[in-house]
């Protein structure tokens, strides 16, 4: 075993020496040799060709991982990928192409005995599995913790570091209560390796801080006292106090993360600097389409080697399910687990923080993220039932005489025998007198809905502020509320977004398509798309409710009024909301004619009233059908 570890260490040294020489030596011959070495490592990894010693270590790694699963009562996690990759500095990491837990068995301290390897891999497995069974456990918790870190004042790229530091300290301290000797030993050997290498490379403040935190939490001594400054010791003490206070109360996690973020903010700025290079992005998170989504801030190498990549954002549900990360085919309105979690988060935080958190996950485009936020905010704003009256049938009141000539079905034998044991027609025969009962109401089909929304420059929209504002913001909330009510009740919806040009989607029950059109802000002039509205109405299967939201600054009023009349003549219902509109305009003959035909026009002077007006009018249309 010692021989194997010596060979492994020597192999790693050769590899890094050749990698370093590649950048310094400029001859094509030596570059070619270095590239060939790297390719050989890649081939070895892909083909999973192991030496005899590596196979032995592989079996130990599997045993250790299964032992850790047993400790956690075997949670439903997929089997990890156990590899020998000499190019990585991380031991346990998440392969973001396959979303599987990966244990790099080539990256170990200098161990000697099989039992030491088993204990080491068991400790690593306990740590990583704890992320999925305890903290953060699921995506919603992880999203909330990331948002809390941002609220604590760190940048969005430092937020994952805060969350990982918090969760690592929390779960390791929890595990330490059951496996005290094991955890002390594992930290001791990994820290000693870093201390030995510190003779060549100076240890970072962040590494010293993390080790000092474990010393305080576990009441052990690893570092020389002279190595820790008073400032670092003070920061470590405050961090540990936050971790230990009300230790078992999970509802305090967000507050704790926010406090730790405030404490570590300056240290992270100093230690984790911007270094967005291809090498630094290697192995980082990627979006579903394969684009690199790595953290542009570098982590000190000693922290990477001892504690892993603390900038990593774990998509917990994907890892639990062994998801490939690729976007699978789904129904038109099917929502993924992460989108469900994001919708719940959107109810709790401002739009800017929400976008920052979802950017860390590499989730979708800007419009897709905005769609989730508006969908969540508009949910249940519009909730109502629509009915029509229908007779409920006759209600029996009292028995009366059944006479010859009455329907035989009306004769009640029981009441007849109760009146007299002798059945005498017209005298003892009985029937029930009935009265028509009150009508009850049954559900009636919703009409389809056409949403026409103005996104011109005067309909301002600023979603980048913490408090999102603007005319278009309120208009979107109203439109989203109506959209999701109609879709959820089986209706089809079309959308027209207009300024000096038009974006549209035809009738569909896929709310994603409608959302993307509504969120496509244009910000130019205001020309009502009259031809598009008529064409869309022609393609409808049935009369529809047309909701128009605009600020009334139209360049083509004459065509607009003609279009309104045509749509009304074809049986469609028109309700228009004119933001800051002039009521005197509605006194004109053309508007009065449209109002007489059933159209409704509202001049909205307070934006906060718009949502209520849209909801109440849509509600009235459907309840009066």
- Confidence at residue 99, expressed as pLDDT on a 0 to 100 scale: 56
pLDDT averages per 10-residue partition of the chain, 625 residues: 39 43 43 46 52 87 91 78 70 60 76 88 91 88 95 94 96 95 94 82 92 96 92 97 93 97 96 63 38 68 88 69 48 76 92 92 88 87 52 65 84 83 84 66 70 93 80 93 84 94 94 94 92 94 92 85 94 93 89 93 91 86 68
- Choose among 475, 472, 468, 559: nearest CA to 524: 472
Which residues, other chains included, contact 605 with Cβ-Cβ below 8 Å and sequence gap of 6+? 580
- Confidence at residue 251, expressed as pLDDT on a 0 to 100 scale: 93
CATH homologous superfamily for the domain 448-623: von Willebrand factor, type A domain (3.40.50.410)
- Confidence at residue 447, expressed as pLDDT on a 0 to 100 scale: 85
28 three-class SS: helix
- Confidence at residue 104, expressed as pLDDT on a 0 to 100 scale: 79
- Choose among 95, 124, 94, 126: nearest CA to 107: 124
- Confidence at residue 248, expressed as pLDDT on a 0 to 100 scale: 86
Measured distance CA(310)–CA(157) in Å, rounded: 11
Measured distance CA(460)–CA(490) in Å, rounded: 32
CB atoms within 10 A of CB 209: 22
Question: Can you say how many angstroms the Cα of residue 558 is from the centroid of all Cα atoms in its chain?
Answer: 45
Measured distance CA(218)–CA(177) in Å, rounded: 9
Domain extents for the chain?
1-43, 50-321, 393-437, 448-623
pTM of this prediction? 0.74
- Choose among 159, 171, 201, 209: nearest CA to 310: 159
Angle formed by the axes of helices 366-378 and 511-518, to 10°? 110
- Confidence at residue 345, expressed as pLDDT on a 0 to 100 scale: 93
Ramachandran sector of residue 95 (left: φ over 0; alpha: ψ -120 to 50; beta: rest): beta
- Confidence at residue 95, expressed as pLDDT on a 0 to 100 scale: 59
Say which residue the tokens 């029996």 belong to. 396
Structure tokens at 291: 């684009």
Measured distance CA(150)–CA(260) in Å, rounded: 11
- Choose among 277, 318, 308, 307: nearest CA to 294: 277
- Confidence at residue 29, expressed as pLDDT on a 0 to 100 scale: 45
> In this predicted model, what pLDDT tens digit does every residue of 287-298 receive, in sequence order?
333 334 456 788
93 three-class SS: strand
H or E stretch at 544: strand 544-550
- Confidence at residue 619, expressed as pLDDT on a 0 to 100 scale: 76
| DSSP string for residues in 488-543 | HTT--EEEEEESSSEEEEEEES-HHHHHHHHT----S-----HHHHHHHHHT-SS-
Long-range contact pairs involving 269-273 (C-beta distance under 8 Å, separation at least 24) = 269/158, 270/205, 271/204, 271/205, 271/206, 271/300, 272/158, 272/161, 272/206, 272/297, 272/298, 272/299, 272/300, 272/311, 273/297, 273/298
Measured distance CA(223)–CA(192) in Å, rounded: 9
Measured distance CA(403)–CA(425) in Å, rounded: 6
Contact 76/138 with Cβ under 8 angstroms? no
| DSSP string for residues in 195-264 | HHHTTTSPPPHHHHHHHHHHHHHHT---S-GGGS-HHHHHHHHHHHHHHHTTTT-GGGHHHHHHHHHHHH
| N- to C-terminal Cα separation, the chain | 82
Measured distance CA(155)–CA(31) in Å, rounded: 39
């Amino acid at each position: 075993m010692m021989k194997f570890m010596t060979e492994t260490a020597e192999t790693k040294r050769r590899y890094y020496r050749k990698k370093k020489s590649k950048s310094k030596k400029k001859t094509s011959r030596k570059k070619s040799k270095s590239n060939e070495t790297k390719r050989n490592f890649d081939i070895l990894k892909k083909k999973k060709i192991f030496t005899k010693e590596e196979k032995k270590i592989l079996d130990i790694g599997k045993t250790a991982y299964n032992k850790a699963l047993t400790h956690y009562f075997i949670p439903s996690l997929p089997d990890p990928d156990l590899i020998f990759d000499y190019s990585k500095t991380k031991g346990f990491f998440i392969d973001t192409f396959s979303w599987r837990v990966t244990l790099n068995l080539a990256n170990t301290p200098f161990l000697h005995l099989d039992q030491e390897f088993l204990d080491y891999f068991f400790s690593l497995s306990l740590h990583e599995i704890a992320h999925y069974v305890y903290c953060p456990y699921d995506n919603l918790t992880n999203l909330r913790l990331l948002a809390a870190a941002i609220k604590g004042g760190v940048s969005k790229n430092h937020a994952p570091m805060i969350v990982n530091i918090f969760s690592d300290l929390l779960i390791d301290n929890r595990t330490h209560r059951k496996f005290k000797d094991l955890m002390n030993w594992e930290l001791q050997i990994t820290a000693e390796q870093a201390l030995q290498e510190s003779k060549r490379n100076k240890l970072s403040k962040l590494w010293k801080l993390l080790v000092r935190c474990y010393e305080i939490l576990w009441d052990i001594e690893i570092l020389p006292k002279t190595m820790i400054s008073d400032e670092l010791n003070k920061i470590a003490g405050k961090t540990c106090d936050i971790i230990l206070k009300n230790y078992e109360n999970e509802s305090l996690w967000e507050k704790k993360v926010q406090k730790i973020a405030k404490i570590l903010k300056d240290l992270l700025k100093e230690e984790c600097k911007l270094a967005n290079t291809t090498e630094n992005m290697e192995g980082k998170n990627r979006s579903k389409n394969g684009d690199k989504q790595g953290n542009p801030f570098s982590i000190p190498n000693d922290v990477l080697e001892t504690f892993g990549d603390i900038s990593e954002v774990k998509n917990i549900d994907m890892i639990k399910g062994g998801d490939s990360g690729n976007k699978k085919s789904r129904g038109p309105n099917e929502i993924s687990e992460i989108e469900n979690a994001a919708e719940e988060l959107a109810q709790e935080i401002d739009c800017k923080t929400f976008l920052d958190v979802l950017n860390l996950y590499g989730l979708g485009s800007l419009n897709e993220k905005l769609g989730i936020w508006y969908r969540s905010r508009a949910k249940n704003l519009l909730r109502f039932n629509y009915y029509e009256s229908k007779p409920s049938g006759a209600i029996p009141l009292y028995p009366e005489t059944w006479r010859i000539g009455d329907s035989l079905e009306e004769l009640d034998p029981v009441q007849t025998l109760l009146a007299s044991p002798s059945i005498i027609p017209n005298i003892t025969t009985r029937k029930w007198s009935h009265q028509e009962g009150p009508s009850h109401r049954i559900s009636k089909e919703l009409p389809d809905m056409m949403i026409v929304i103005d996104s011109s420059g005067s309909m301002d929209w600023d979603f980048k502020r913490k408090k999102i504002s603007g005319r278009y913001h309120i208009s979107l909330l109203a439109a989203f509320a109506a959209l999701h009510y109609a879709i959820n009740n089986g209706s089809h919806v079309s959308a027209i977004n207009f300024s000096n040009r038009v974006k549209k989607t035809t009738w569909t029950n896929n709310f994603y398509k409608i959302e993307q059109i509504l969120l496509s802000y244009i910000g130019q002039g205001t020309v009502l798309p009259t031809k598009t509205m008529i064409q869309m109405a022609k393609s409808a299967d049935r009369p529809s409710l047309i909701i128009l939201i605009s600020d009334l600054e139209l360049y083509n009023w004459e065509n607009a009024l003609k279009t309104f009349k045509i749509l009304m003549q074809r049986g469609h219902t028109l309700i228009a909301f004119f933001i800051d509109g002039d009521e005197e305009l509605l006194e004109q003959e053309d508007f009065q004619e449209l109002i007489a035909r059933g159209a409704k026009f509202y001049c909205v002077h307070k934006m906060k009233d718009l949502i209520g007006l849209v909801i109440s009018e849509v509600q009235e249309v459907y309840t009066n059908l």
